[in-house]
Amino acid sequence: MRFDHLLHCVADVAAAVDDYTAAGLPAHTNEPFDGFQNGAWRPDERYVEILSVVDHAEFAGSAFGRAMTGWAG
């Protein structure tokens, strides 16, 4: 098995990206899409995806939200 990427769920993507970068792990933030926002730190072909739901109603109606129904409260 090979590691591809890790999901790091946070309350605030921009703040987490700032923390990663301050720790010497340069990360970036993407624009919100379908009710969630993500960013990433990528040391090579692997990466840590930093993500948060920013609009619960929009996310719930998206393909991503529907696929995750029942995962967690």
Domain extent for 9? 5-67
In a domain, 60, yes or no: yes
Is residue 72 in a domain? no
Neighbours of 53 (CB within 10 A): 19
Do 64 and 34 contact (CB within 8 A), yes or no?
yes
Model pTM score: 0.83
Whether 73 is in a domain gets the answer: no
What's the pLDDT tens digit per position in 7-30? 999 999 999 999 999 999 999 999
> Does the residue 11 lie in any domain?
yes
Q: Which CATH number fits the domain that encloses residue 33?
A: 3.10.180.10
Query: Mind listing the pLDDT tens digit for each residue in 42-63?
Result: 989 999 999 999 999 999 999 9
Q: SS3 for 60?
A: helix
Domain count, the chain: 1
Side chain identity at residue 12, one-letter code: D
